[in-house]
Amino acid sequence: MKILVTGGAGFLGQALCRGLLAQGHTVVSTQRRRSASLEAMGVEQRLGDLADAAHVTRALEGVDAVFHNAAKAGHWGSEQSYVDANVTGTTNVLAACRAHGITRLVYTSTTSVAHNGRVPCEGGNEVNTPYAPAFKAPYPRTKQVAEKAVLAANGSPVAGGAALATVALRPRLIWGPGDTNLLPRLVERARAGRLRFIAGGHNRMDTSYVDNAADAHLKAFAALSPGSACAGKAYFISNGEPQPVREIVNGLLVAAGEPRVEASVPFAVAYAAGALCEALWSTLPLESEPPMTRFVAEQLATPHWYDLSAAKRDFGYVPQVSVAEGLQRLARWWQERPDGG
């Protein structure tokens, strides 16, 4: 099959491209800038902005299925920038699927669509963990809107008389070799003495090793068809090994050859700092991301781990790489990368 991956040049996007190529598919990616990594893989690149409906229509021409992975992530930015990337982009992808008769779409969502402030989620599943009613950041708000649109599109007619089958996956905190965002930021802050846990960092959270997250997408795709068990549904995805935040962070730091961090601040202090940063960054305004926001403070201080039974039942997802093995792989990659050592 010829399969398009939106955001194929990103961290998870590249893992999806590698997995699809290994299965014998022809892979196309659409993103804003050309990627040397994708070029080396032999992935066709169709450059453009997903908020541009005409570009999306061209990008999806001639493909059989779509992995809609692209998004504007992060915890700071204008509401409109998130709407353009996450809502308008998704609307355009769905419209192009219908226009081109594409019948399968796998959407990369996020656990943040169900993040409800300081309400803990401990072993929650897709039934007893509803959508959050309100948000303090545009990322989860726009991702929730997009996920709802994707699931609502399941079963809708496409050109040629067939129907579109959709599924949404919600991976939690993806990490592993190839990460150019999370781990470098942790290392930078730790070296500068600016890394602190919130309320001790004892709350447990799920994470997702990148190859496991990609494998979940591939398994969901293999099981997806009109009327299948996973069609029109969303699924939590993780390693299924919840750990205290302090152990997650220190595990990543040790893999990068850095010492463990022990410093902590109370939640009230972090939350107040987040509110102050939001006010300053909105007023001045500053172009960089603030070091703390209320949304980030809540995320880092609240238990979040999930029951993966539905993903196992409906499309056979079982994490293949443990956290321990993933950290070993990450340590090797960190040392062997061109600017490592």
Q: Which residues are catalytic?
A: 139
- Strands of 44-45's sheet in order across: 44-45, 26-30, 2-6, 65-68, 104-108, 165-171, 234-237
Beta bridge partners of 279: none
Of 72, 76, 82, 91, nearest in space to 32 by CA: 72
Tokens (6 digits) for 143: 């991702």
Of 262, 258, 265, 263, nearest in space to 191 by CA: 258
Residue 60 contacts residue 36 (beta carbons within 8 Å): no
Chain position carrying tokens 């010829």: 2
Fill in the DSSP letter of residue 113.
G
Residue 2 contacts residue 63 (beta carbons within 8 Å): yes
Q: Which H or E element spans position 67? A: strand 65-68
Of 68, 20, 304, nearest in space to 168 by CA: 68
- Sequence-distant (≥ 6) Cβ neighbours of residue 84 within 8 angstroms: 51, 72
Of 326, 308, 317, nearest in space to 216 by CA: 317
Q: For residues 109 and 208, give the distance between their C-alpha atoms in angstroms, rounded to a whole number.
A: 13
Beta bridge partners of 105: 66, 166
